[in-house]
Structures are given as C-alpha cells and as structure tokens.
Chain A
Amino acid sequence: EVQLVESGGGLVQPGGSLRLSCEGSGFTFSDYEMNWVRQAPGKGLEWVSYISTPGGTVFYADSLKGRFTISRDNAKNSLYLQMDSLRVDDSAVYFCATTRYGSGSPHFASWGQGTLVTVSS
C-alpha cells in the first residue's frame, strides 16, 4: 500500500524558513514523479511544485517567485520542500502527492495526510 507521510510543518515568523519532508513507503519511490499541493485554511487546493523521478526537472507555481525549492533523495525515499522568505499567505496545509499516468493523463493518485505551516508573528 502506498503511504506518504509529511513532516516539518510548524509555526514560523514572516521572513523565516522551513523545510518540509515527505517520506514514501509501500512503492518504489524513485519510479514516481512527485508534487507538493497546499491548501490555505478554508480555501481550495493550490498546486505548488513538481519534480521528475531523477529530480532534474522541476516546476513551480508562478506565485512562489523563487522562494521555494523542491528536491528529492531517492535513496531515502524522500521528497523535500525548502521554503524561504515565508509570508503570512503561505500559511496552509501542505500535501505531497504522487503523479501517475492513465490514458495519457497525469493525475495525483496518492496523497499524504498533510503538514500544517503557520506563518505568523
């Protein structure tokens, strides 16, 4: 069974940094493209970032403006999100999710339970 467990969330001051982790188990982590998706309190889903299987290709939401960095360590079955220059509006639950392909269409088949990031002074 695919399992994804996020960690690293917490309370941080505006301008601060945080590093989120997502550990995968029950599947061959290195075979899966990965994503981060966030959800602000009471709001909808917002895709944050994508990383390819070896990690050489990454994409980000335009709104992040270079403040976040996605990476992975396949030897540790882990995905990361380094978040710098955090703003109040970055407060959200952050989910990691696997990309799967079916009928040619990529979709987010498995999700972690999320980790809460609160940016506040």
Chain B
Amino acid sequence: DIQMTQSPSSLSASVGDRVTITCRASQSISTYLNWYQQKPGKAPKLLIYAASTLQSGVPSRFRGSASGTDFTLTISSLQPEDFATYYCQQSYSTPITFGQGTRLEIK
C-alpha cells in the first residue's frame, strides 16, 4: 500500500498568514494527488486535484504543487473560513490512501 505522510499534524496561524502543508508519498504517484478540506461535522470538500488543479469554485488563495514524491498545499492569505482539517489523498493505485490530516487552528 502507498503511505501518505502529512506534516505538520497541527498548525496554529492567524488570519492573513501564509501556510504550507506537506504530504509525502512512500513511492512515486506521478501527480495523482488530491487535497480536501473538512470542517467539523461536515463532509470533506475537494480543493485541488492532480496535484495542482484548483477545483471549480475554490478560491485562488489555495495552491498545490509537486516535486517528486513531495506535495504541498499552500494557502496564501488565511481567511477565517479556512480554519479546518486538510487531507491529502493518493489516487494512483488501490487501496486509495489518505494522509492522517493537518488541523489548522486559529492562533
């Protein structure tokens, strides 16, 4: 199985900050990497697919990038509605696997 390791597991930041979340795959997954945002009690929401393609309707402050087996989600200027948990997901092969999540909290 492909392991996805996210870091950090939690992060405190302020409105207006730039934050970066990293996800590392245990083997090559090309760009079969997706990012989701989840708020408490809600379903996950797709933010970015294919490592860097912004899902329709998602604000442009969200950006995804890839370098080998390392993937990054960057939020350029945090807004109050961005405080949530973020998950990466590899869809290169089954079993599909998720990172353990990064909880983004208000400082």
Q: Which residues of chain A have a CB within 8 Å of any CB of chain B?
A: 35, 37, 44-47, 50, 59-62, 95, 100, 102-109, 111-114
A108 and B36 contact, CB distance less than 8 A? yes
Q: Report chain B residues within 8 Å CB of A109.
A: 46, 55
Q: SS class of chain B's interface: helix, strand, loop or mixed?
A: loop
A106 and B95 contact, CB distance less than 8 A? no
Given A105-B50, A105-B51, A108-B36; 19 other pairs, CB 8 A cutoff: A44-B87, A44-B101, A45-B36, A45-B38, A45-B98, A47-B95, A62-B1, A102-B50, A102-B53, A104-B50, A105-B31, A105-B53, A106-B32, A106-B91, A107-B46, A107-B50, A107-B89, A108-B46, A109-B55
> B16-37: which have CB < 8 Å to A?
31-34, 36
Most B C-beta atoms less than 10 A away, residue of A61, A103, A107, A112: A107
Q: Report chain A residues within 8 Å CB of B46.
A: 107-109
Q: Which residues of chain B have a CB within 8 Å of any CB of chain A?
A: 1, 31-34, 36, 38, 42-46, 49-51, 53, 55, 87, 89, 91, 94-101
Q: SS class of chain A's interface: helix, strand, loop or mixed?
A: strand
A46 and B44 contact, CB distance less than 8 A? no
Most A C-beta atoms less than 10 A away, residue of B1, B44, B55, B95: B95
A45 and B95 contact, CB distance less than 8 A? no
Docked Cα-Cα span, A114 to B45, in Å, equals 13
- Known contacts A102-B49, A106-B32; is A59 also within 8 Å of B95 by CB? yes
Q: Report chain B residues within 8 Å CB of A106.
A: 32, 91
A105 and B91 contact, CB distance less than 8 A? yes
- Known contacts A50-B96, A102-B50, A103-B53; is A108 also within 8 Å of B101 by CB? no
A46 and B98 contact, CB distance less than 8 A? yes
Q: Report chain A residues within 8 Å CB of B45.
A: 111
With both beta carbons as reference points, the residue of chain B lying nearest to A60 in the complex is identified as B95
